[in-house]
Amino acid sequence: MLTAEFVRLGVPRDYGEDYEGLRLVFEIRLYNPVQYVAYVLGIDGSVFTGGKQSPRMYYLGQARSLMLVQIPPKEYVATRIYLDLRHDDLESIEKLRAGENPRFTINLSTQFIACVPQQSLTPPQNCQYIPIGPCAQTLSLSLAPQPQQLYLIRCYIPLKDQRGNSLIEVDRDTWLDILSKLGFKHVRVIEVPAVTGVANGHAKAAIEHLDRAWELMSANYEEALNAARKALEELKSYAKDLGFVDGKGEIDFVKVYGASPDSDLVRGMDNIFRGLWALTNVGSHAGRSRLIKRADVEFVITTIYMLMKSMQENVKIQQPIS
């Protein structure tokens, strides 16, 4: 009966749709190989994910269609199925793919009605035919002669890629673009501190610049580093407004961590901040020549995220030293 072919993976906004949650869109093509029209009422798919390095498959949930589809005889029709996810589902995909292309398998269940000529009724093993009654003239668009019977048909079919493989592999860059559009970051564990006034504004601004840096990373490394530099500037202003700076206006990690000036912790965190400051100086020829790969820029952005998270947790328990 029907066959299904994977076309591409996207998100609702790729199709002009508004949706605030975490939703993947699998664009597929259905092919009707027989001589009568299939009116598809619904498509469900059990979606599993895995990685090249792991034989284990993780169940993500049920993908569902949101539209009716009419497929003429011997023709292909494009449609979409939608999969709603939780953040931990995306975390599982990231863990299993281990930096490589994510992989999916989808077992589809289709329900459709069709006017089937009685002489051609030979249900395949993967389909169930449920008789409804005589065909109405409006539904009888078969290329075959009468008599015809209207059936509700349920078929179970694997979704395959264009090469006929049931294991669907999505390009890594495509997947990273999807994560960006979903607003998901594997390291996005920062909460804006619950403080009032300008300090809260600087914290929000720092996160906004980091978000912008992540978006720019796919297109322009230099602009991404510029945005990361602005995040560091906002982080300094945030520390200043809370009283965690020294006489030169630099972040005082002694105050932030409540540790000795000679401790490895203070020296290490100060060196990390100064290193990030230097790496985000795109006016430096030396710095710019080093950061020529996406992984380099990812390192800078994610390190700033985690530095801010560490500072945020520690300033909650420290009192500024006058």
DSSP assignment letter at 100: S
Residues 204 and 166 in one domain: no
Residues 198 and 275 in one domain: yes
Higher pLDDT, 275 or 296: 275
Query: Is the entire prediction scored with pTM above 0.95?
Result: no
Does 176 reside within a domain?
Answer: no
Residues 298 and 205 in one domain: yes
Residues 16 and 143 in one domain: yes
Query: Can you state the percent helix, strand and coil of the chain, rounding each to 5?
Result: 35, 30, 30
pLDDT reading at 320 higher than 60: no
Does 139 reside within a domain?
Answer: yes
pLDDT for 242 equals 86
The model's confidence at residue 284, banded by pLDDT at 50, 70 and 90, is: very low
Does 289 reside within a domain?
Answer: yes
pLDDT for 283 equals 57
Last residue of a domain, one of 170, 193, 214: 170
Yes or no: say if 110 and 154 are a contact pair by the CB < 8 Å rule: yes
**Mean pLDDT within 3-11:** 95
pLDDT in tens, 128-151: 989 888 887 555 554 445 567 888
Last residue of a domain, one of 140, 170, 200: 170
pLDDT for 227 equals 93
**Mean pLDDT within 113-128:** 79
pLDDT in tens, 19-61: 888 999 999 999 999 888 999 999 999 999 988 877 788 999 9
Which range of 172-176, 221-225, 263-267 scores highest in mean pLDDT? It is 263-267
**Mean pLDDT within 115-120:** 73
Yes or no: say if 127 and 190 are a contact pair by the CB < 8 Å rule: no
Residues 120 and 221 in one domain: no
Yes or no: say if 149 and 118 are a contact pair by the CB < 8 Å rule: yes
Q: How many domains does the chain have?
A: 2
Yes or no: say if 250 and 269 are a contact pair by the CB < 8 Å rule: no
Residues 117 and 242 in one domain: no
Last residue of a domain, one of 170, 200, 235: 170
For residue 261, say if its preceding peptide bond is cis, omega within 30 degrees of 0.
no
Does 109 reside within a domain?
Answer: yes
State the Cα–Cα distance between residues 169 and 16, nearest whole angstrom. 25
Residues 142 and 24 in one domain: yes
Residues spanned by the domain of 101: 3-170
Yes or no: say if 98 and 54 are a contact pair by the CB < 8 Å rule: yes
Residues 247 and 278 in one domain: yes
Q: How far is CA 46 from CA 86, 102, 107, 316, in A?
A: 16, 16, 5, 45
